[in-house]
Structure 1
Amino acid sequence: MKLSNLKRFPWLLGAVGVGLLGSGLSAQTASAPRALGVDVANFDRSVRPQDDFFRYLNGGWLQKTPIPADRASYGSFTELADRSEAALRTIIEEAAAAPGSARGSDAQKVGDFYRSYMDTARIETLGVRPLRPEFDRIANLGNRAALPEQFAHLQRIGVQTPFGFSVGQDARQADRYIAYVSQSGLGLPDRDYYFNQGAKFAETRTAYGRYVEQLLRLAGERDPAAAARAIVALETKLAGSHWDRVRNRDREATYNLRTVAQLNTMTPGFAWAPFLRAAGGESTPAVVVRQPDYLEALNREFTATPLDTWKQYMRFKLLDSYASVLSRPFVQAQFDFRSRTLQGVEEERPRWKRGVGAVQGAMGEMVGRMYVERNFQPAARARMQQLVDNLMVAFREGIDELEWMSPETKVQAQAKLASFNTKIGYPDQWRDYAALEVRAGDAVGNATRANRFGFQRMVERLGKPIDRTEWGMTPQTVNAYYSSTMNEIVFPAAILQPPFFDLAADDAVNYGAIGGVIGHEISHGFDDQGSRSDGQGNLRDWW
């Protein structure tokens, strides 16, 4: 959710205000007493509101709230995320402490996953040994023809490869699932980090090379310095063909439908049939290539880069992906580069916080269900739906009153708005984790199996009807989103608490807080990206 985008649509905000005043709708009964809903302790009354309204309202909070050492920034979202995290900690640690949970139960899976992650004594003893089978698999690759299946295997276990593979709704035919292929393979945030001039970028590139070398040395690489140089050089070549962020925002340019035969023509040095078979994507009706010229450039690297360099690259990517569940030197190396160097974070997050995050990453909706049972009031769902309905009325009225929009476009805009779906709090149908196996004392194995489970669930969508009950966020996430292919707005349970939403507060407070979030998400359906999809989620020019 990018709240700054609201500034681009002042007519929407104006429509919200006018619509609410004129509609006569209210989510609150006249007789019900309401709390103030504003934390006056955050005010700085030494500042006159007419001089600095922001400081007047928030100065007290700014004075008493330092940025935690384990954070790069802090605000209302992170403050609520901390609350959500604390609630999850209680749930997860109770599951971890429960004796004799039935094998395969939610409590067993959550408890064993967390205990395994927190068992640092065993993790230190094992070192890098849990990854040995993967190292052996890489070492045994005999030729480049083995790369397609190997890349599919790595993607299944959550390891980055030179291209990304995913299954999602077809942007131009949103009633079916299709495979997507995208540029990937970089260890730095994007292509600019490899080429931009200036001391900061140069220092970051040097630090990255040291990081690559350090992980390889810890894993016993024969010549880690030479391997690191080769890996960074390979990534730099890949980065040279990456599209930049601006170009990647063009939804038309990043939709390029290809058959598998056409893919093979684009990359004669890389066979797609064995990759798709190993990835479980052979039933895709076609493939959407997001950056075609990147694949063509990648083909040159498939043939020009020595197999040994590809093996070094894969070993590093494996270590980088699993460093968090390896021994302390790997964890420290990853923190020093990925958090301290790239983000400016001064202090590593406590182990329990990282453990809670790992559980969420592996079985987010499982613990989300537990979270909702303890922390979400059913009445909040109904109240929130009323707020959304009222804002929809305001948007409808606002569209009709626009002077600059043609009558034909207004009809299309109203049709899209009428097709919006709203999800609030939690999924009506929870994700099934029966196929996920979690073993006590196996931190690396649990992470691997969780990655496999998530990948398999993704590819199994091919050929099936669109699952319109699916959520793209967990209930315990402090955020909200709009999906252009689903044409829906979604508000997880965790954001429906003060300061964004207060069931006990006056409507005016909630419209000013969560109302802004609702309006923001609705506006995404009509911004520079969302306006490219129609009410059925199909990418087409209707504006």
Structure 2
Amino acid sequence: MSTERWILAAAILCSLGVTTTGAVDAPRSPSGIDLVGIDHSIKPGDDFDGYANENWRKTAVIPADRSSTGVFLHVFEKAEKRNAELIKTIAASKAPAGTSQRKIADYYAAFMDTASIEKHGLAPLQPQLGAIAAITTKAALATQLGAELRADVDPINATNFSTEHLFGLFVTQGLEDPSRSMPYLLQGGLGMPNRDYYLDTDKDMAGFRSQYQVYIATQLKNAGIADADEKAKAVFDLEIKIAKAQESLVDSEDVHKANNPWALTDFASKAPGLDWAIYFKAAGLDTQKQIVVWQPAAITAESALVASEPLDTWKAYLTFHTINHVASLLPKAYADASFEFYSHALQGTPKQSERWKRALGAVNRDLGDAVGQLYVKQYFPASSKIEVQQMVNNILAAFDSRVDELTWMTPSTKAKAKAKIATTHVGVGYPETWRNYADLTIKADDPVGNHLRAEQHEYQHQKAKLDAPVDRNEWWMTPQTVNAVNLPLQNALNFPAAILEAPFFDPKADPAANYGSIGAVIGHEISHSFDNTGAEFDANGKLANWWTPADQAHFKAATQKLVTQYSAYEALPGLHINGQQTLGENIADVSGLTVAYIAYHKSLRGKPAPVIDGLTGDQRFFLAFAQSWREKTRDAAMRAQVISDGHAPGNFRAQTVRNIDAWYDAFAPKPDEKLYLAPDDRVRIW
């Protein structure tokens, strides 16, 4: 569930929105529930997250190199350990040159060779830095900006995008013509997580702005650049102007505002300031007939800044971002400064992760499918794939039956919804076709070059889709990713192998625990096809209104009740959840939990669920759900999530149960308890 500032991805890639920032393992009973973690002094009706998780939270310790800890991260660390074992085996095997195994081993070795990194200094960046220094005209600036355009979508945090580049490219099916792929141009250009960090008057944000300007100067000084403080101020002031030009996350999630196909010849008049002909030629997009502009006002305003701001300011901006983009791959002074600002200051993480962990993350980022192919062969049995596929089928059937039962929806809209369910493509474990890295050069002594070449390789892969048939089976996550994703334009779901592990999924576990955890995840992703964004797309992935006016009005009224419900939650003193910003994910949580519950009961085939550990089947189902979302988070990271993410923090997601009638039967909350909602106030969407 999707936030990188790839705003387009925020609207059309809907992932679980988890972050791999720390882990804690808890003992599970035969029921699949952590009984020790339950705090019986808290009434379920006052705080179901607290009831399910507070005893765990009291003793949970956030690792020094993490910004949070929780169940998702227990599963992540299992995958991380497996990846480390794979790479150790690959390195020992001395695989032949040119093979994927050799590329993985060489990439990892280059990242770990700190002595060579210190020796080379900024030398790996000299071609880019030299090109920037040689800019003497705005035409040359346009060439440089175009050459730096990249495509880089991260569905784990899909509301974020590549901030080091003024604009970003996304390639996927056309909104109105799903039969062919289209290039989408997105706003960009910020070094902090999003525009709010530049514009919010909150004292914490003002502090971040001061630290960021110091950080810019630090990296310029590390590079030996003269007048670093003055240039840092100029860069920061430029980014303030870029932030003011950008559209908000909420506006960017509205696909109707984003459907703006411009002919290449339109850019000069609609967004004057940047020499677009030069820009698109340098970006390799000059042969395209149209480009969809996702945030037209932002693209126009940012283009104007290219003309209005001094050339020296742009050169300082490009120099800083060229360094910042690969700071973790540069000598220790650069990497430490980057950690101190982005992880310590912005996320509250006290200690940098061990280098081998960072190396694994880098390998998985740039050679994800190569690692994933080995991962599933070693760690994902066919039996797990079959069982999860059956669960997916059961939950899709439950959603279908739920549509039949909706009293507010007209037959014509129901028929369209059921057609969409029937054509949903589900990928479990791994993709049907693997990425090919044969033409990607990886060297054992060039970590910066390896990453930059991998980015260029990804960019060329994305551009190639513009001239090829649409692949509706394309995956947007690697198998070793602990997450899941819905792809509304493809009408498809991906459930990577790494999340299909205990406690989310355990073939030996009681069905209540499996349906309450991985079942709710599956239901969540299915429901994204029918959230406030997914419901805008038909069974073919086309942006089309398939609702009657009355049905659409009912749907929107119900979703606004959910906006109000979540906007009342206070994450930190004075900092409330943005119910509109998190709406799509909250719809998916409510609807996903609803259909997972229905599917769980259908799996019982009419038999009563056994009582295990003193818990009924329904109690185990809802506890498994709440314990899946348990987390303990540093305040800085919590603030960053609330401001920048389309997902509510886990403790609020666990409270989703208050909208489910069966939870009231299972735990008997009283009307005077905090979570209690009268039947008419419970949000029922699907």
Do 1:42 and 1:59's aligned partners in 2 also have CA atoms closer than 8 Å?
Answer: no
Aligned AA (1:370)? L
Give the counterpart of 1:188 among 188, 192, 198: 192
**Does structure 2 conserve the Cα–Cα contact (< 8 Å) formed by 1:37 and 1:504?**
no
Letter in 1 for 2:490: M
Q: 1:359-398 counterparts in 2 under 5 A?
A: 359-398=363-402
Structure 2 equivalent of residue 482 of structure 1: 486
Larger RCO, structures 1/2 (Cα 8 Å, 6+ apart)? 1
Q: 1:50 to 1:41 in 2, by over 3 A?
A: closer
**Within 2, Cα distance between the matches of 1:484 and 1:45?**
39
Give the counterpart of 2:438 among 414, 430, 434. Answer: 434
State the TM-score, normalizing by the size of structure 1: 0.90
**CA separation in 1, counterparts of 2:461 and 2:39?**
54
Which range is displaced more, 358-367 or 401-410? 401-410
Is 1:201 the counterpart of 2:195? The answer is no
User: Is 1:47–1:55's contact at 8 Å kept on the other side of the alignment?
Assistant: no
Q: Counterpart in 1 of 2:271? A: 267
Match of 1:539 in 2: 543
Q: Deviation string for 1:413-454 (max 9, x for gaps)?
A: 111111111100001111111111111111111111111111
| Correspondence for 1:90 | 85
CA–CA distance in 1 between the matches of 2:461 and 2:163? Answer: 17
1:339-359 C-alpha deviation (Å, 9 max, x unpaired):
111111111111011000000
Letter in 2 for 1:529: T
2:137–2:311 contact (8 Å) kept in structure 1: yes
Identify the residue that residue 53 of structure 2 maps to in structure 1. Answer: 58
2:64 partner amino acid: A
Q: Using a 3 Å threshold, how does the CA distance of structure 1 residues 313 and 53 change in structure 2: closer, same or farther?
A: closer
Closer/same/farther in 2, CA of residues 62 and 439 from structure 1, 3 Å limit? same
Whether the 8 Å CA contact 2:167–2:188 is kept in 1: the answer is yes
Deviations along 1:211-246, one digit per CA (max 9) or x if unpaired, are 000001111111100100110111111111111111
* Distance in structure 1 (CA, Å) of the matches to 2:378 and 2:89: 13
Q: Which moved more, 1:279-288 or 1:142-151?
A: 279-288
Match of 2:109 in 1: 115
Cα distance change of structure 1 residues 373 and 236 upon mapping to structure 2, 3 Å threshold: same
Gaps of 5+ in 1: 3-34
Query: Alpha carbons of 1:306 and 1:406: their partners in 2 closer, same or farther (altered >3 Å)?
Result: same
In structure 1, C-alpha distance between the alignment counterparts of 2:31 and 2:436, rounded to whole Å: 38
Question: What's the CA shift for 1:521?
Answer: 0.9
Q: Deviations over 1:133-178 (max 9, x none)?
A: 2111111123111223211222359782222223222122122111
Cα distance in 1, alignment partners of residues 200 and 38 from structure 2: 42
Q: Percent identity?
A: 39
Matched, 1:255 2:250: no
CA displacement, residues 75-117 of structure 1 (integer Å, 9 cap, x when unaligned)? 1112211111111011112223433x21101221001100000
Residue 452, structure 1, aligned to residue 456, structure 2: yes
Q: Residue 68 in 1 paired to residue 72 in 2?
A: no
3-state DSSP of counterpart to 1:341: helix
Deviates more, 1:51-60 or 1:380-389: 51-60
| One-letter identity of the residue aligned with 1:223 | D
How far, CA to CA, are the matches of 1:292 and 1:186 in structure 2? 17
Contact 2:62 2:69 in 1 (8 A): yes
Measured in 2, the distance between the counterparts of 1:522 and 1:242 equals: 31
Matched, 1:236 2:240: yes
Contact 1:482 1:524 in 2 (8 A): yes
The alpha-carbon distance between structure 1 residues 53 and 186, as it changes in their structure 2 partners (threshold 3 A), is closer
CA distance, structure 2, for counterparts of residue 37 and residue 314 of structure 1 = 56
3-state SS of 2:256 partner: coil
Q: What is the match of residue 31 of structure 1?
A: none
Residues 37 and 52, structure 2, Cα contact 8 Å, conserved in 1: yes
Larger displacement relative to structure 2 (221-230 or 465-474)? 465-474
One of 498, 501, 508 as aligned partner of 1:504: 508
**Amino acid of the residue matched to residue 480 of structure 1?**
A
Please identify, of 509-518 and 485-494, the stretch whose mean Cα deviation from structure 2 is larger: 509-518
Unaligned runs of 5+ in 2: 3-28, 152-161, 548-686
Please report how far the alpha carbon of residue 273 of structure 1 lies from its aligned counterpart in structure 2 after TM superposition. Answer: 2.9
**Does the 8 Å CA contact 2:118/2:331 hold for their aligned counterparts?**
yes
User: In the aligned structure 1, how far is the partner of 2:416 from the partner of 2:356?
Assistant: 50
Q: Is the 8 A contact 2:274 2:304 kept in 1?
A: no
Question: Which amino acid in the other structure matches residue 149 of structure 1?
Answer: T
Aligned residue pair count: 510
The one of 236, 240, 245 equivalent to 2:249 is 245
Superposition deviation, residue 484 in structure 1: 0.6
- Provide closer, same or farther for how the CA distance between residues 185 and 382 of structure 1 changes in structure 2, counting only shifts above 3 A: same
Q: Deviations over 1:32-82 (max 9, x none)?
A: xxx935154644476588687655643553344311111111211122111
Q: Is the 8 A contact 2:180 2:470 kept in 1?
A: yes
- Alignment of 1:276 with 2:283, yes or no, is no
Paired with 1:95 and 1:265, the residues of 2 have a C-alpha distance of 54
CA contact (8 A) 1:97 1:111 kept: no
Q: Is the 8 A contact 1:45 1:56 kept in 2?
A: yes
Following TM superposition, by how much is the alpha carbon of 1:288 offset from its aligned partner in structure 2, in angstroms?
0.6
Superposed, 1:279-318 pairs within 5 Å as 279-318=283-322
Kept in 2: contact 1:501–1:513 (CA 8 A): yes
Q: Which residue of 2 aligns with 1:78?
A: 73
Deviation digits for residues 252-310 of structure 1, max 9, x if unmatched?
00121110011121233323233223222234341110111222222321111111111
Matches within 5 A, 1:36-51: 36=30, 38-40=32-34, 42-44=36-38, 47=41
1:138 aligned residue (132, 136, 151): 132
Determine whether 1:416 maps to 2:420: yes
Contact 1:284 1:463 in 2 (8 A): no
Could you tell me how far apart the structure 2 residues matched to 1:197 and 1:50 are?
37
Supply the distance in 2 between the matched residues of 1:53 and 1:193 (Cα, whole angstroms).
32
* Aligned equivalent of 1:161: 165
**8 Å CA contact 1:106, 1:366 repeated in 2:** yes
Q: Distance in 2 between matches of 1:368 and 1:217?
A: 39
Deviation (angstroms), 1:385:
1.1
Give the TM-score taking structure 2 as reference length. 0.72
Supply the distance in 1 between the matched residues of 2:262 and 2:39 (Cα, whole angstroms).
Answer: 62
Q: Distance in 1 between matches of 2:214 and 2:320?
A: 12
Counterpart AA for 2:70: G
**SS of the counterpart of 1:165?**
strand
1:49–1:505 CA distance, 2 compared to 1 (3 A): farther
1:483 Cα deviation after fit: 0.6
The 8 Å contact of residues 163 and 190 in structure 2, kept in 1 or not, is answered as no
After superposition, the Cα gap between the structure-2 partners of 1:407 and 1:373, relative to the gap in structure 1 and judged at 3 Å, is: same
Contact 1:152 1:279 in 2 (8 A): yes
Taking the aligned partners of 2:448 and 2:479, their CA distance within structure 1 comes to 26
Larger deviation, residues 417-426 vs 148-157? 148-157
- What is the CA–CA distance in structure 2 between the aligned matches of 1:235 and 1:298, rounded to whole Å? 10
Inter-partner Cα distance in structure 2 for 1:130 and 1:536: 46
Task: State the superposition RMSD in angstroms.
Answer: 1.9
Residue 160 of structure 1 aligns to a residue whose secondary structure is coil
Instruction: Give the counterpart letter for 1:83 in structure 2.
Output: K
